[in-house]
Chain A
Protein backbone atom coordinates (compact mmCIF):
# COMPACT_ATOMS: atom_id res chain seq x y z
CA UNK A 1 0.00 0.00 0.00
CA UNK A 2 1.33 3.41 -0.97
CA UNK A 3 0.61 5.86 1.83
CA UNK A 4 1.16 9.63 1.91
CA UNK A 5 1.20 11.20 5.37
CA UNK A 6 0.69 14.98 5.51
CA UNK A 7 2.76 16.45 8.32
CA UNK A 8 2.66 20.01 9.51
CA UNK A 9 5.42 21.54 11.58
CA UNK A 10 4.10 23.79 14.34
CA UNK A 11 5.58 25.85 17.16
CA UNK A 12 6.45 23.57 20.07
CA UNK A 13 3.71 23.09 22.61
CA UNK A 14 5.27 24.57 25.71
CA UNK A 15 6.51 27.75 24.01
CA UNK A 16 5.82 31.16 25.44
CA UNK A 17 4.02 32.99 22.65
CA UNK A 18 4.01 36.70 21.86
CA UNK A 19 2.21 38.43 19.01
CA UNK A 20 4.30 39.51 16.05
CA UNK A 21 4.82 43.25 15.47
CA UNK A 22 2.04 43.42 12.87
CA UNK A 23 -0.18 41.17 15.06
CA UNK A 24 -0.94 38.98 12.01
CA UNK A 25 0.75 35.98 13.63
CA UNK A 26 3.04 35.21 16.56
CA UNK A 27 6.67 36.24 16.89
CA UNK A 28 8.75 33.32 15.64
CA UNK A 29 12.18 34.83 16.30
CA UNK A 30 13.35 32.21 18.82
CA UNK A 31 10.64 29.65 18.21
CA UNK A 32 11.23 25.92 18.59
CA UNK A 33 9.18 23.63 16.37
CA UNK A 34 7.79 20.11 16.41
CA UNK A 35 5.60 17.84 14.33
CA UNK A 36 1.94 18.65 14.96
CA UNK A 37 0.65 16.18 17.55
CA UNK A 38 -2.12 14.57 15.50
CA UNK A 39 0.25 14.27 12.54
CA UNK A 40 2.77 12.34 14.64
CA UNK A 41 -0.07 9.87 15.24
CA UNK A 42 -0.93 9.89 11.52
CA UNK A 43 2.69 8.98 10.76
CA UNK A 44 2.64 6.21 13.36
CA UNK A 45 -0.60 4.81 11.90
CA UNK A 46 0.92 4.91 8.42
CA UNK A 47 4.10 3.15 9.51
CA UNK A 48 2.14 0.41 11.30
CA UNK A 49 -0.05 -0.17 8.23
CA UNK A 50 3.02 -0.46 6.06
CA UNK A 51 4.61 -2.91 8.48
CA UNK A 52 1.50 -5.10 8.28
CA UNK A 53 0.69 -4.72 4.60
CA UNK A 54 3.95 -3.83 2.94
CA UNK A 55 4.30 -0.79 0.75
CA UNK A 56 5.69 2.65 1.19
CA UNK A 57 5.18 5.69 3.44
CA UNK A 58 5.84 9.12 1.96
CA UNK A 59 5.94 12.15 4.26
CA UNK A 60 4.50 15.34 2.75
CA UNK A 61 5.15 18.69 4.35
CA UNK A 62 4.52 22.24 3.16
CA UNK A 63 6.49 25.01 4.82
CA UNK A 64 9.70 27.04 4.85
CA UNK A 65 13.23 25.67 5.22
CA UNK A 66 12.77 24.94 8.92
CA UNK A 67 10.42 22.02 8.15
CA UNK A 68 13.38 19.91 7.02
CA UNK A 69 13.74 19.02 10.70
CA UNK A 70 10.22 17.58 10.79
CA UNK A 71 10.91 15.72 7.56
CA UNK A 72 14.16 14.26 8.91
CA UNK A 73 12.32 13.09 12.01
CA UNK A 74 9.66 11.37 9.91
CA UNK A 75 12.35 9.67 7.82
CA UNK A 76 14.23 8.61 10.95
CA UNK A 77 11.09 7.02 12.33
CA UNK A 78 10.65 4.98 9.19
CA UNK A 79 9.08 6.98 6.36
CA UNK A 80 10.65 5.83 3.08
CA UNK A 81 10.95 9.20 1.42
CA UNK A 82 9.55 12.71 1.63
CA UNK A 83 8.18 15.60 -0.35
CA UNK A 84 8.89 19.11 0.84
CA UNK A 85 6.66 21.79 -0.67
CA UNK A 86 8.71 24.94 -0.17
CA UNK A 87 6.32 27.57 1.09
CA UNK A 88 7.01 30.73 3.05
CA UNK A 89 4.49 31.79 5.66
CA UNK A 90 2.15 28.79 5.51
CA UNK A 91 -0.08 30.55 8.06
CA UNK A 92 -1.09 33.03 5.35
CA UNK A 93 -2.96 30.31 3.46
CA UNK A 94 -6.44 29.20 4.42
CA UNK A 95 -7.14 25.47 4.53
CA UNK A 96 -8.61 25.39 1.05
CA UNK A 97 -5.43 26.89 -0.39
CA UNK A 98 -3.23 24.55 1.69
CA UNK A 99 -5.25 21.52 0.61
CA UNK A 100 -4.95 22.56 -3.05
CA UNK A 101 -1.16 22.55 -2.72
CA UNK A 102 -1.02 19.23 -0.90
CA UNK A 103 -3.38 17.66 -3.44
CA UNK A 104 -1.16 18.69 -6.36
CA UNK A 105 1.70 16.80 -4.76
CA UNK A 106 -0.51 13.81 -3.92
CA UNK A 107 -1.67 13.59 -7.55
CA UNK A 108 1.94 13.27 -8.70
CA UNK A 109 2.30 10.22 -6.44
CA UNK A 110 -1.04 8.49 -6.94
CA UNK A 111 -1.12 6.77 -3.52
CA UNK A 112 -3.77 4.36 -2.17
CA UNK A 113 -4.18 6.26 1.05
CA UNK A 114 -3.57 9.75 2.41
CA UNK A 115 -3.36 10.24 6.17
CA UNK A 116 -3.56 13.66 7.76
CA UNK A 117 -3.85 14.83 11.31
CA UNK A 118 -7.31 15.71 12.48
CA UNK A 119 -6.32 19.22 13.41
CA UNK A 120 -3.27 21.43 13.55
CA UNK A 121 -2.32 22.88 16.92
CA UNK A 122 -1.57 26.37 15.55
CA UNK A 123 -4.42 27.44 13.26
CA UNK A 124 -6.62 24.55 14.36
CA UNK A 125 -8.85 24.64 11.31
CA UNK A 126 -9.50 20.91 11.58
CA UNK A 127 -10.36 20.46 7.94
CA UNK A 128 -7.40 20.25 5.57
CA UNK A 129 -7.72 16.47 5.18
CA UNK A 130 -11.45 16.61 4.48
CA UNK A 131 -10.96 19.38 1.91
CA UNK A 132 -8.12 17.45 0.27
CA UNK A 133 -10.38 14.39 -0.08
CA UNK A 134 -13.04 16.46 -1.81
CA UNK A 135 -10.50 18.01 -4.18
CA UNK A 136 -9.16 14.54 -4.99
CA UNK A 137 -12.69 13.18 -5.46
CA UNK A 138 -11.98 10.50 -2.83
CA UNK A 139 -14.03 9.36 0.17
CA UNK A 140 -12.77 10.23 3.61
CA UNK A 141 -13.25 9.22 7.23
CA UNK A 142 -12.53 11.69 10.03
CA UNK A 143 -11.56 11.27 13.71
CA UNK A 144 -9.97 7.90 13.04
CA UNK A 145 -8.66 5.93 16.03
CA UNK A 146 -8.15 2.51 14.40
CA UNK A 147 -7.44 1.14 10.92
CA UNK A 148 -7.65 -2.39 9.57
CA UNK A 149 -7.64 -3.69 6.00
CA UNK A 150 -10.99 -5.15 4.91
CA UNK A 151 -11.62 -6.60 1.46
CA UNK A 152 -10.07 -4.20 -0.98
CA UNK A 153 -10.67 -1.25 1.34
CA UNK A 154 -10.40 -0.36 4.99
CA UNK A 155 -12.50 -0.76 8.10
CA UNK A 156 -11.75 2.12 10.42
CA UNK A 157 -12.79 2.95 13.93
CA UNK A 158 -13.95 6.52 14.30
CA UNK A 159 -14.48 8.55 17.42
CA UNK A 160 -17.85 10.20 18.03
CA UNK A 161 -18.68 12.68 20.75
CA UNK A 162 -18.99 11.79 24.44
CA UNK A 163 -17.16 8.44 24.43
CA UNK A 164 -19.00 6.86 21.47
CA UNK A 165 -17.41 5.15 18.49
CA UNK A 166 -18.42 3.65 15.19
CA UNK A 167 -16.84 1.52 12.50
CA UNK A 168 -16.88 2.80 8.94
CA UNK A 169 -15.91 0.90 5.82
CA UNK A 170 -14.34 2.82 2.99
CA UNK A 171 -13.00 1.84 -0.42
CA UNK A 172 -9.54 3.00 -1.53
CA UNK A 173 -8.12 5.40 -2.45
CA UNK A 174 -9.26 7.43 0.54
CA UNK A 175 -8.21 10.11 2.99
CA UNK A 176 -8.30 9.46 6.73
CA UNK A 177 -7.88 12.20 9.33
CA UNK A 178 -6.20 10.72 12.37
CA UNK A 179 -7.09 11.49 15.98
CA UNK A 180 -4.41 11.44 18.70
CA UNK A 181 -4.07 8.21 20.64
CA UNK A 182 -4.57 5.85 17.66
CA UNK A 183 -1.34 4.02 18.59
CA UNK A 184 1.67 4.42 20.85
CA UNK A 185 4.22 6.72 19.23
CA UNK A 186 7.65 5.27 18.49
CA UNK A 187 10.97 7.03 18.97
CA UNK A 188 13.52 7.31 16.20
CA UNK A 189 16.36 4.84 16.73
CA UNK A 190 20.01 5.68 16.16
CA UNK A 191 19.96 3.37 13.15
CA UNK A 192 16.85 5.15 11.88
CA UNK A 193 18.53 8.53 12.19
CA UNK A 194 21.53 7.24 10.23
CA UNK A 195 19.40 5.72 7.52
CA UNK A 196 17.34 8.90 7.17
CA UNK A 197 20.38 10.73 5.76
CA UNK A 198 20.33 8.70 2.57
CA UNK A 199 16.59 8.85 2.00
CA UNK A 200 15.13 10.92 -0.83
CA UNK A 201 13.58 14.31 -0.09
CA UNK A 202 11.98 15.81 -3.18
CA UNK A 203 11.66 19.57 -2.98
CA UNK A 204 8.98 21.34 -4.99
CA UNK A 205 8.41 25.06 -4.98
CA UNK A 206 4.84 25.92 -4.02
CA UNK A 207 4.64 28.37 -6.93
CA UNK A 208 5.63 25.63 -9.32
CA UNK A 209 2.84 23.40 -8.08
CA UNK A 210 0.22 26.13 -8.14
CA UNK A 211 1.16 29.46 -9.67
CA UNK A 212 -1.64 31.21 -7.83
CA UNK A 213 -2.35 30.55 -4.21
CA UNK A 214 -5.58 32.31 -3.54
CA UNK A 215 -6.68 32.67 0.02
CA UNK A 216 -10.26 33.70 0.57
CA UNK A 217 -10.31 33.62 4.38
CA UNK A 218 -7.15 35.37 5.55
CA UNK A 219 -6.34 36.17 9.17
CA UNK A 220 -6.74 39.92 9.68
CA UNK A 221 -5.13 39.99 13.13
CA UNK A 222 -4.45 37.97 16.24
CA UNK A 223 -5.54 39.15 19.68
CA UNK A 224 -5.52 38.03 23.29
CA UNK A 225 -8.61 36.00 24.15
CA UNK A 226 -11.13 37.70 26.40
CA UNK A 227 -11.62 36.32 29.89
CA UNK A 228 -15.07 35.18 30.92
CA UNK A 229 -14.31 34.90 34.63
CA UNK A 230 -12.38 36.94 37.14
CA UNK A 231 -9.80 34.45 38.38
CA UNK A 232 -8.43 34.98 41.89
CA UNK A 233 -4.75 34.19 41.56
CA UNK A 234 -3.31 33.03 44.87
CA UNK A 235 0.18 34.40 45.15
CA UNK A 236 3.18 33.50 47.20
CA UNK A 237 5.51 30.54 47.55
CA UNK A 238 3.82 27.13 47.07
CA UNK A 239 3.07 26.50 50.76
CA UNK A 240 1.52 29.92 51.21
CA UNK A 241 -0.51 29.79 47.98
CA UNK A 242 -1.71 26.29 48.88
CA UNK A 243 -2.79 27.39 52.37
CA UNK A 244 -4.68 30.35 50.90
CA UNK A 245 -6.40 28.08 48.41
CA UNK A 246 -7.56 25.66 51.11
CA UNK A 247 -8.95 28.64 53.08
CA UNK A 248 -10.83 29.90 50.05
CA UNK A 249 -12.23 26.48 49.17
CA UNK A 250 -13.42 25.97 52.74
CA UNK A 251 -14.81 29.34 53.72
CA UNK A 252 -15.49 31.27 50.51
CA UNK A 253 -16.45 28.64 47.94
CA UNK A 254 -17.58 26.14 50.62
CA UNK A 255 -16.74 23.09 48.53
CA UNK A 256 -14.68 21.21 51.12
Chain B
Protein backbone atom coordinates (compact mmCIF):
# COMPACT_ATOMS: atom_id res chain seq x y z
CA UNK B 1 0.00 0.00 0.00
CA UNK B 2 1.11 3.57 -0.59
CA UNK B 3 1.39 5.44 2.67
CA UNK B 4 1.79 9.21 2.83
CA UNK B 5 2.94 10.76 6.13
CA UNK B 6 2.19 14.45 6.59
CA UNK B 7 5.01 16.15 8.51
CA UNK B 8 4.55 19.15 10.81
CA UNK B 9 6.99 21.97 11.31
CA UNK B 10 7.56 23.60 14.64
CA UNK B 11 9.83 26.49 15.49
CA UNK B 12 12.08 26.08 12.46
CA UNK B 13 12.49 22.34 13.09
CA UNK B 14 10.10 19.42 13.10
CA UNK B 15 7.42 18.64 15.61
CA UNK B 16 8.81 15.66 17.54
CA UNK B 17 5.69 13.65 16.73
CA UNK B 18 6.38 14.02 13.00
CA UNK B 19 9.22 11.53 12.91
CA UNK B 20 7.16 9.15 15.02
CA UNK B 21 4.41 9.33 12.39
CA UNK B 22 7.04 8.72 9.73
CA UNK B 23 8.21 5.60 11.58
CA UNK B 24 4.59 4.44 11.75
CA UNK B 25 4.20 5.10 8.01
CA UNK B 26 7.26 2.97 7.21
CA UNK B 27 5.88 0.17 9.40
CA UNK B 28 2.44 0.36 7.82
CA UNK B 29 4.04 0.29 4.37
CA UNK B 30 6.12 -2.72 5.39
CA UNK B 31 3.18 -4.77 6.69
CA UNK B 32 1.13 -3.98 3.58
CA UNK B 33 3.94 -4.52 1.05
CA UNK B 34 4.07 -0.91 0.01
CA UNK B 35 6.16 2.24 0.15
CA UNK B 36 5.99 5.25 2.40
CA UNK B 37 6.39 8.88 1.36
CA UNK B 38 6.50 12.10 3.34
CA UNK B 39 4.67 15.35 2.61
CA UNK B 40 5.86 18.77 3.73
CA UNK B 41 3.70 21.86 3.32
CA UNK B 42 4.63 25.52 3.45
CA UNK B 43 5.11 28.73 1.56
CA UNK B 44 8.47 27.52 0.28
CA UNK B 45 9.04 24.02 1.64
CA UNK B 46 11.66 22.75 -0.84
CA UNK B 47 14.70 23.28 1.35
CA UNK B 48 13.09 21.89 4.50
CA UNK B 49 11.73 18.92 2.61
CA UNK B 50 15.35 17.93 1.97
CA UNK B 51 15.56 17.00 5.69
CA UNK B 52 13.62 13.86 4.76
CA UNK B 53 15.72 12.88 1.76
CA UNK B 54 17.90 10.74 4.03
CA UNK B 55 15.17 8.30 4.93
CA UNK B 56 13.95 5.16 3.27
CA UNK B 57 11.01 6.63 1.42
CA UNK B 58 9.58 6.53 -2.06
CA UNK B 59 9.79 10.30 -2.16
CA UNK B 60 9.33 13.43 -0.14
CA UNK B 61 6.69 15.73 -1.55
CA UNK B 62 7.20 19.46 -1.13
CA UNK B 63 3.79 21.07 -1.38
CA UNK B 64 4.34 24.81 -1.72
CA UNK B 65 2.03 27.80 -1.92
CA UNK B 66 2.31 31.28 -0.36
CA UNK B 67 -1.15 30.87 1.24
CA UNK B 68 0.13 27.94 3.35
CA UNK B 69 1.97 30.34 5.67
CA UNK B 70 0.67 30.99 8.28
CA UNK B 71 -1.11 27.69 8.84
CA UNK B 72 -4.87 27.59 8.36
CA UNK B 73 -7.14 24.56 8.17
CA UNK B 74 -8.67 25.93 4.96
CA UNK B 75 -5.36 26.23 3.09
CA UNK B 76 -3.91 22.94 4.34
CA UNK B 77 -7.09 21.08 3.44
CA UNK B 78 -7.15 22.56 -0.08
CA UNK B 79 -3.47 21.78 -0.65
CA UNK B 80 -3.62 18.20 0.59
CA UNK B 81 -6.86 17.51 -1.23
CA UNK B 82 -5.06 18.33 -4.49
CA UNK B 83 -1.86 16.51 -3.58
CA UNK B 84 -3.81 13.39 -2.62
CA UNK B 85 -5.56 13.58 -5.99
CA UNK B 86 -2.12 13.51 -7.66
CA UNK B 87 -0.39 10.99 -5.43
CA UNK B 88 -3.28 8.60 -4.79
CA UNK B 89 -2.05 7.18 -1.47
CA UNK B 90 -3.91 4.32 0.20
CA UNK B 91 -3.21 5.68 3.67
CA UNK B 92 -2.53 9.21 4.87
CA UNK B 93 -0.87 9.32 8.30
CA UNK B 94 -0.53 12.32 10.61
CA UNK B 95 1.04 12.92 14.00
CA UNK B 96 -1.88 13.47 16.41
CA UNK B 97 -0.97 17.08 17.15
CA UNK B 98 -3.27 20.04 17.80
CA UNK B 99 -2.73 21.06 14.18
CA UNK B 100 -3.78 17.66 12.90
CA UNK B 101 -6.86 17.81 15.13
CA UNK B 102 -7.62 21.12 13.42
CA UNK B 103 -7.46 20.06 9.76
CA UNK B 104 -7.06 16.26 9.46
CA UNK B 105 -10.73 15.37 10.01
CA UNK B 106 -11.76 18.25 7.72
CA UNK B 107 -9.61 16.87 4.90
CA UNK B 108 -10.97 13.36 5.39
CA UNK B 109 -14.56 14.66 5.47
CA UNK B 110 -13.98 16.60 2.25
CA UNK B 111 -13.16 13.30 0.58
CA UNK B 112 -16.10 11.59 2.33
CA UNK B 113 -13.81 9.43 4.45
CA UNK B 114 -13.67 8.70 8.19
CA UNK B 115 -10.66 9.82 10.19
CA UNK B 116 -9.26 7.41 12.76
CA UNK B 117 -7.54 9.52 15.39
CA UNK B 118 -4.95 8.93 18.10
CA UNK B 119 -3.81 5.48 16.96
CA UNK B 120 -1.27 3.69 19.17
CA UNK B 121 -0.75 0.47 17.19
CA UNK B 122 -1.88 -1.46 14.13
CA UNK B 123 -1.64 -4.96 12.78
CA UNK B 124 -2.91 -6.99 9.87
CA UNK B 125 -5.86 -9.24 10.59
CA UNK B 126 -8.03 -11.15 8.10
CA UNK B 127 -6.39 -9.46 5.12
CA UNK B 128 -7.01 -6.01 6.48
CA UNK B 129 -5.41 -3.58 8.86
CA UNK B 130 -6.83 -3.13 12.35
CA UNK B 131 -5.95 0.10 14.16
CA UNK B 132 -5.85 0.39 17.94
CA UNK B 133 -6.80 3.61 19.74
CA UNK B 134 -7.69 4.56 23.31
CA UNK B 135 -11.28 4.97 24.44
CA UNK B 136 -12.73 6.04 27.81
CA UNK B 137 -9.72 8.27 28.45
CA UNK B 138 -7.31 5.37 28.17
CA UNK B 139 -9.19 2.90 30.38
CA UNK B 140 -9.67 0.64 27.35
CA UNK B 141 -8.42 0.46 23.80
CA UNK B 142 -10.60 -0.10 20.74
CA UNK B 143 -9.71 -1.99 17.59
CA UNK B 144 -11.07 -0.19 14.54
CA UNK B 145 -11.27 -1.38 10.97
CA UNK B 146 -11.62 1.07 8.12
CA UNK B 147 -14.06 0.07 5.39
CA UNK B 148 -14.65 1.72 2.04
CA UNK B 149 -12.34 3.12 -0.58
CA UNK B 150 -8.87 4.54 -0.07
CA UNK B 151 -7.43 6.87 0.97
CA UNK B 152 -7.77 6.05 4.65
CA UNK B 153 -6.92 8.73 7.20
CA UNK B 154 -5.17 7.97 10.47
CA UNK B 155 -3.39 10.04 13.13
CA UNK B 156 -0.76 8.53 15.39
CA UNK B 157 -0.53 9.22 19.12
CA UNK B 158 2.58 10.95 20.45
CA UNK B 159 5.01 8.44 21.91
CA UNK B 160 3.38 5.37 20.35
CA UNK B 161 6.07 4.90 17.71
CA UNK B 162 9.75 5.63 18.09
CA UNK B 163 11.29 8.49 16.14
CA UNK B 164 14.65 6.71 16.19
CA UNK B 165 13.04 3.74 14.41
CA UNK B 166 12.78 5.69 11.14
CA UNK B 167 14.76 3.68 8.60
CA UNK B 168 17.53 5.56 6.83
CA UNK B 169 17.97 5.53 3.08
CA UNK B 170 17.67 8.14 0.41
CA UNK B 171 14.93 9.55 -1.71
CA UNK B 172 14.23 12.45 -4.04
CA UNK B 173 12.38 15.63 -3.20
CA UNK B 174 9.49 16.19 -5.56
CA UNK B 175 7.81 19.57 -5.81
CA UNK B 176 4.04 19.42 -6.05
CA UNK B 177 2.24 22.48 -7.31
CA UNK B 178 -1.16 23.32 -5.92
CA UNK B 179 -3.60 26.13 -6.57
CA UNK B 180 -5.31 27.74 -3.63
CA UNK B 181 -7.40 30.86 -4.26
CA UNK B 182 -6.81 33.44 -1.51
CA UNK B 183 -10.53 33.52 -0.69
CA UNK B 184 -10.45 29.82 0.18
CA UNK B 185 -8.94 30.92 3.49
CA UNK B 186 -11.71 32.24 5.68
CA UNK B 187 -10.10 32.50 9.11
CA UNK B 188 -7.37 34.97 10.10
CA UNK B 189 -4.85 33.52 12.54
CA UNK B 190 -2.79 35.74 14.84
CA UNK B 191 0.75 35.21 16.10
CA UNK B 192 1.22 32.54 18.78
CA UNK B 193 1.91 34.00 22.23
CA UNK B 194 2.58 32.85 25.72
CA UNK B 195 1.34 34.13 29.04
CA UNK B 196 4.56 34.99 30.88
CA UNK B 197 3.23 36.73 33.98
CA UNK B 198 3.84 34.76 37.15
CA UNK B 199 5.00 31.72 35.21
CA UNK B 200 6.54 28.89 37.19
CA UNK B 201 9.23 26.83 35.54
CA UNK B 202 8.37 23.27 36.56
CA UNK B 203 10.95 21.83 34.18
CA UNK B 204 13.70 22.70 36.66
CA UNK B 205 12.01 20.94 39.61
CA UNK B 206 13.67 17.75 40.88
CA UNK B 207 10.49 16.48 42.46
CA UNK B 208 6.86 17.21 41.66
CA UNK B 209 3.62 16.40 43.46
CA UNK B 210 0.69 16.74 41.07
CA UNK B 211 -2.95 16.98 42.15
CA UNK B 212 -5.82 15.75 40.01
CA UNK B 213 -9.59 15.74 40.17
CA UNK B 214 -9.46 13.15 42.92
CA UNK B 215 -8.80 16.19 45.11
CA UNK B 216 -12.36 17.27 45.72
CA UNK B 217 -12.05 20.76 47.12
CA UNK B 218 -9.77 23.73 46.69
CA UNK B 219 -9.00 23.76 50.42
CA UNK B 220 -7.72 20.18 50.18
CA UNK B 221 -4.82 21.47 48.11
CA UNK B 222 -3.31 22.39 51.47
CA UNK B 223 -2.73 18.70 52.08
CA UNK B 224 -1.02 18.41 48.68
CA UNK B 225 1.20 21.40 49.54
CA UNK B 226 2.19 19.76 52.80
CA UNK B 227 3.12 16.56 50.99
CA UNK B 228 5.16 18.58 48.48
CA UNK B 229 6.91 20.37 51.31
CA UNK B 230 7.76 17.09 53.02
CA UNK B 231 9.24 15.80 49.75
CA UNK B 232 10.98 19.02 48.79
CA UNK B 233 8.79 19.14 45.71
CA UNK B 234 6.94 21.66 43.55
CA UNK B 235 3.15 21.47 43.29
CA UNK B 236 1.64 20.80 39.87
CA UNK B 237 -1.78 19.69 38.63
CA UNK B 238 -3.81 18.08 35.92
CA UNK B 239 -6.09 20.15 33.76
CA UNK B 240 -9.36 20.04 35.73
CA UNK B 241 -7.61 21.56 38.77
CA UNK B 242 -6.36 24.47 36.66
CA UNK B 243 -9.69 24.75 34.80
CA UNK B 244 -11.36 25.25 38.17
CA UNK B 245 -8.96 28.10 38.87
CA UNK B 246 -7.43 26.41 41.93
CA UNK B 247 -3.94 26.63 40.45
CA UNK B 248 -2.60 28.77 37.61
CA UNK B 249 -2.15 27.33 34.13
CA UNK B 250 1.60 27.56 34.59
CA UNK B 251 1.33 24.63 37.02
CA UNK B 252 -0.54 22.43 34.56
CA UNK B 253 1.34 19.40 33.33
CA UNK B 254 0.41 17.91 29.97
CA UNK B 255 0.07 18.60 26.29
CA UNK B 256 -1.43 22.06 26.86
CA UNK B 257 0.83 22.82 29.79
CA UNK B 258 4.38 21.96 30.70
CA UNK B 259 6.38 18.87 29.89
CA UNK B 260 8.40 17.80 32.90
CA UNK B 261 10.91 15.04 33.64
CA UNK B 262 11.81 15.27 37.34
CA UNK B 263 13.53 12.58 39.38
CA UNK B 264 10.25 11.95 41.18
CA UNK B 265 6.68 12.59 40.04
CA UNK B 266 3.86 11.82 42.47
CA UNK B 267 0.43 11.78 40.81
CA UNK B 268 -2.34 12.15 43.37
CA UNK B 269 -5.91 11.48 42.17
CA UNK B 270 -4.92 11.70 38.51
CA UNK B 271 -6.40 9.14 36.11
CA UNK B 272 -3.62 9.28 33.53
CA UNK B 273 -5.28 10.47 30.32
CA UNK B 274 -2.82 10.61 27.43
CA UNK B 275 -2.81 14.43 27.40
CA UNK B 276 -1.51 14.33 30.96
CA UNK B 277 0.88 11.43 30.39
CA UNK B 278 2.71 13.10 27.50
CA UNK B 279 3.71 15.84 29.92
CA UNK B 280 5.23 13.61 32.62
CA UNK B 281 5.98 10.09 31.44
CA UNK B 282 9.64 10.97 30.98
CA UNK B 283 9.97 11.33 34.79
CA UNK B 284 12.54 8.97 36.29
CA UNK B 285 10.35 7.57 39.03
CA UNK B 286 6.56 7.83 38.93
CA UNK B 287 4.33 7.24 41.95
CA UNK B 288 0.56 7.01 41.58
CA UNK B 289 -1.97 7.32 44.37
CA UNK B 290 -5.43 6.45 43.09
CA UNK B 291 -8.47 4.63 44.40
CA UNK B 292 -9.12 2.95 41.03
CA UNK B 293 -6.71 0.06 40.36
CA UNK B 294 -7.76 0.24 36.68
CA UNK B 295 -6.71 3.89 36.26
CA UNK B 296 -4.34 4.24 33.28
CA UNK B 297 -1.83 6.14 35.44
CA UNK B 298 -0.81 2.72 36.79
CA UNK B 299 0.33 1.82 33.27
CA UNK B 300 3.25 4.23 33.62
CA UNK B 301 3.78 4.22 37.41
CA UNK B 302 6.78 2.55 39.06
CA UNK B 303 5.11 2.52 42.47
CA UNK B 304 1.45 2.64 43.24
CA UNK B 305 -0.84 2.86 46.21
CA UNK B 306 -4.43 1.91 45.51
CA UNK B 307 -6.49 3.77 48.05
CA UNK B 308 -8.30 6.90 49.11
CA UNK B 309 -5.93 9.85 48.79
CA UNK B 310 -7.57 11.44 51.83
CA UNK B 311 -6.13 8.60 53.89
CA UNK B 312 -2.96 7.90 51.93
CA UNK B 313 -1.63 11.45 51.65
CA UNK B 314 -1.75 12.24 55.40
CA UNK B 315 -0.16 8.83 56.09
CA UNK B 316 2.56 9.60 53.60
CA UNK B 317 3.26 13.01 55.14
CA UNK B 318 3.52 11.30 58.50
CA UNK B 319 5.83 8.57 57.18
CA UNK B 320 8.11 11.18 55.61
CA UNK B 321 8.37 13.03 58.93
CA UNK B 322 9.22 9.97 60.96
CA UNK B 323 11.04 7.92 58.30
Contacts and interface: CB of A to CB of B under 8 A. Distances in A.
Nearest to B245: A184
A233 B304 contact: yes
Interface residues of B, number: 94
Contacts, number: 256
B135 interface: yes
Nearest to A13: B213
Contact of B140 (A19, A243, A245): A19
Given A95-B105, A238-B311, A169 B242 contact: no
Given A246-B316, A246-B319, A142 B190 contact: no
Contacts of A96: 108-109, 112-115
A238 B290 CA distance: 12
B285 A255 contact: yes
A190 interface: no
Contact of A160 (B98, B304, B306): B98
A162 B134 contact: no
B18 to A, nearest CB: 13
A210 interface: no
Given A222-B142, A245-B319, A131 B305 contact: no
Contacts of A224: 140-141
Contact of A225 (B141, B186, B256): B141
Contact of B263 (A130, A139, A232, A255): A255
B135 A249 contact: no
Interface of B: 73-74, 77, 97-98, 101-106, 108-110, 112-118, 130, 133-148, 186-195, 207, 213, 231, 239-240, 242-243, 245, 249-250, 252, 255-259, 263-264, 284-285, 287-288, 292-294, 296, 298-308, 311-312, 314-316, 318-320, 323
Contacts of B193: 164-166
A247 interface: yes
B299 A229 contact: yes
Most buried by A among B240, B285, B298, B319: B319
A97 B230 CA distance: 52
A250 B242 CA distance: 31
A218 B304 contact: no
Given A127-B105, A247-B323, A223 B114 contact: no
Contacts of A143: 98, 101-102
A30 interface: no
Contacts of B213: 13
A59 B97 CA distance: 29
20 contacts: A17-B294, A95-B114, A96-B109, A123-B142, A130-B102, A159-B256, A162-B256, A165-B194, A166-B190, A167-B189, A168-B188, A179-B256, A224-B141, A229-B299, A233-B304, A238-B305, A243-B323, A246-B316, A249-B264, A249-B285
Contacts of A152: none
Interface in A204-233: 215-229, 231-233
A153 to B, nearest CB: 9
A222 B305 contact: no
A225 B134 contact: yes
Contact of B73 (A121, A140, A217, A219): A140
A1 interface: no
- What band does the interface of chain A fall in when counting residues whose beta carbon is under 8 Å from B? 35 or more
A171 B185 CA distance: 11
A21 interface: no
Contact of A232 (B77, B140, B303, B320): B303
A241 B307 contact: yes
A218 B147 contact: yes
A9 B321 CA distance: 46
Given A162-B258, A166-B192, A233-B305, A245 B287 contact: yes
Contacts of A238: 305, 307-308, 311-312, 314-315
Contacts of A133: 106
Nearest to B98: A161
A178 B294 CA distance: 29
Contacts of B264: 249, 253, 255-256
Nearest to A180: B243
Contacts of B320: 246
Contacts of A124: 117-118, 133-137
Nearest to B186: A139
Contacts of A131: 105-106, 108-109, 115
A242 interface: yes
Interface string A145-163: 0000000000000011111
B109 A253 contact: no
A123 to B, nearest CB: 6
Given A161-B98, A225-B139, A228-B300, A126 B118 contact: yes
Contacts of B104: 127
B257 A163 contact: yes
A124 B115 CA distance: 12
A125 interface: yes
A250 B192 CA distance: 43
Given A127-B115, A219-B142, A223-B141, A122 B239 contact: no
B212 to A, nearest CB: 11
A170 B186 contact: yes
Contacts of B316: 242, 245-246
A171 B74 CA distance: 13
